[in-house]
Structure 1
Amino acid sequence: MPITSVTKDTDDLTMTVVAEFPVPVRRLWDAYADPRQLERFWGPVEYPATFTRHDMFPGGESYYVMTGPEGDTSAGYWRFHSVDEGKGFEVEDGFCSEPGVPSQDMPSMRMTFAFEEAGDGSRVTTTTWFASLEDLEKLIGMGMDEGMRSAMGQMDEVLADLTSWAAGSGTTTELLDDTHARVSRVVRGTVEQVWRAHTEADLMRRWMLGPDGWVMCTCDVATAVGDTYTYEWEQEDSSHRFGFTGELLEVQAPVRAVTVERMIGMEGEGVRNDMTLTPVEGGTLVSTVMTFPSLELRDQILSTGMADGMEVSYARLERDVLVPA
């Protein structure tokens, strides 16, 4: 069992959980930074979590839903107050009435996560600060202690899996629910390098091409919220051409960009893309959560081989554009 102690202090209104693991601090930190890993232990065994947003930077937010064996759900959020890479972070942790909407009926808490070396491995100390004794007693009574023990008991298996999350493992696509999918890839480069590659036209034309034999003939980039963009590709023999147009909804350089886009010539509601860049061991995790207007459109788009095309492009980005970090 990784948890070494759980301490409740009714004077300081805190609960402190200490857990140790036989892995380096960087490996433990990345398990919290990568939503693909975090959702495999953030939640009791019977209530696994699904993260539809995870922005691990100051001012960032995370949204998750835990789903029980009978299909019952409990939604929560984090708001990041501070992040000291590899050492610790602080969040406001609370419940949601629906994904992304904080509940007005349930208390929120301040949580700090501190990472440090411990013997031949590492330690994470999680301290929860409650606003009142009533809140502490209410949440402990709801099973917060047992939930933490169950959740962190799953971490050894996650931490032992090195190949699924490392640089070089390729592009992964995960279906989060009927209208959400997450496409992820660790790219060998710094956050700043990867951001520039996604936002500067001269760089985009060099790698964002999909399979060999295509050129990016139009690359009009959006740089400010409200700007529109147009990307078009054409086969080298000019036999086929397609493209997308969209709008930049949010931007926080160099870590987050949100767009809504649709294929040129198609009507209807577009697809929302939330892209977050997170530093991890070996490079930068590019995580894009796609929100589709319907299940049918989700399946239609994903069946086109989109992820395979993205993998070819990201491999080209590493090979031809990025300088090793």
Structure 2
Amino acid sequence: MTMPVTNVSKDPQAMTMTIVADFPVPVRRLWDAYADPRQLEKFWGPVGWPATFTRHDMYPGGESQYYMTGPDGERPAAWFEFIAVTEGQSFEVLDGFSKEDGSRDLESPVMRMVFAFEETTEGSRLVHTTHFNSAAELEQILEMGMEEGTLSAMSQIDAVVADLQSFAAGQAVTTQLIGEHQVRLSRVIRGTLDEVWKAHHDPELLRRWQLGPEGWTMPVCEVGTAVGETYRYEWEREGGQDRFGFTGTVLEIEAPHRSVTTEAMIGQEETATTNELTLTPVDGGTLLSLLVTYPDAALRETILATGMADGMETSYARLESEVLSG
């Protein structure tokens, strides 16, 4: 097992534990491993306890929600709240446990963690400092196995950052099933955060790229840009055949990072999904993560079987080539 950790220090007076680890990759590569939930899942949990992130909003005020799955099926859950983010250099979060219903367990310890990324002659260094509320809490958390668990988790980072291809720009939409009725679709779009956000919320731009296969047009494009507003998109083949569309309501929106909407095919509103769109700057562009929650597993399977991911890939490729390239 590779162990990049070079130093662990505990200071009861300062109520901190600091872990220093070195990696033979550029700072940006290491940063992106923490910014991309697909990669973070591969090393956030200790060996044998893989993590699943159902939310990961890496911007000030953003949240992350995740659970780890133990060898016997246990699923302890936790959350982050991002206090500060300086892209490529550092981020700071509050870190706590979640209750079974997903809400924050504020009766358990809530720690403050700072992750600082530095360039070295050999690559990059991560300085991970956890701040506790008291010396007693530090001792309590250490007795729970936090140090061993963190070191076990970090032993997996080298393998993740060595993979230079799977998460790079230019890869097609990836699909990951989460739980029984969710799916996460991800892709790095070659464009800035603001450009990709605008392309998803400007009707003129949407009509140019969100078309799926060749031969379709978008005669109706009504965008919702505030909580409570509705949107309506309709497509048809050139010539006016096979018209269909989707409608929904904006539940949350925080430009240019995150939006949450409902979505239902027009005429089939009883099968509405909840779509959580998150945009995150990464090397080569902007990581788009779309978490879709379906009413049940059967509908998820039915929709994915229609070639949903392939249709999205066609549209995103058009977005890059016909909208963002110029």
Do both proteins adopt the same fold according to a TM-score greater than 0.5, normalized to the shorter chain? yes
Partner of 1:175: 177
Corresponding residue to 1:74 among 64, 73, 76: 76
CA distance in 1, matches of 2:265, 2:271: 10
Residue identity matched to 2:321 = R
Answer yes or no: is 1:161 the counterpart of 2:163: yes
Matches within 5 A, 1:1-325: 1-98=3-100, 100-323=102-325
Give the length in aligned residue pairs: 324
The secondary structure found in structure 2 opposite 1:268 is: helix
CA distance in 1, matches of 2:49, 2:110: 20
Residue identity matched to 1:214 = W
8 Å CA contact retained: 2:96, 2:106:
no
Mean Cα deviation higher: 26-35 or 290-299 = 290-299
Runs of 4+ in 1 over 3 A off after TM superposition: none
Q: How far did residue 239 of structure 1 move?
A: 2.5
Residue identity matched to 1:177 = G
Q: For each residue in 1:122-141, what CA deviation from the matched residue of structure 2 results, as whole angstroms up to 9, or x when unmatched?
A: 00110000001221111111
Q: 1:138 to 1:155 in 2, by over 3 A?
A: same
CA distance in 2, matches of 1:122, 1:82: 21
Residue identity matched to 2:198 = R
TM-score (norm 1): 0.98
The secondary structure found in structure 2 opposite 1:98 is: coil
CA distance in 2, matches of 1:9, 1:200: 52
Q: 1:197 to 1:99 in 2, by over 3 A?
A: farther
CA distance in 1, matches of 2:166, 2:276: 22
CA distance in 2, matches of 1:133, 1:300: 53
Which ranges of structure 1 fall in alignment gaps of 5 or more residues?
none
Residue identity matched to 1:230 = R
Q: 1:40 to 1:166 in 2, by over 3 A?
A: same
Q: How big is the alpha-carbon RMSD for the aligned residues of Structure 1 and Structure 2? A: 1.0
Residue identity matched to 1:29 = W
Which ranges of structure 2 fall in alignment gaps of 5 or more residues?
none
Q: For each residue in 1:266-316, what CA deviation from the matched residue of structure 2 results, as whole angstroms up to 9, or x when unmatched?
A: 142511111011000000001111111111111111111110000000000
8 Å CA contact retained: 2:96, 2:104:
yes
Task: Give me the identity figure in percent.
Answer: 59
CA distance in 1, matches of 2:311, 2:101: 31
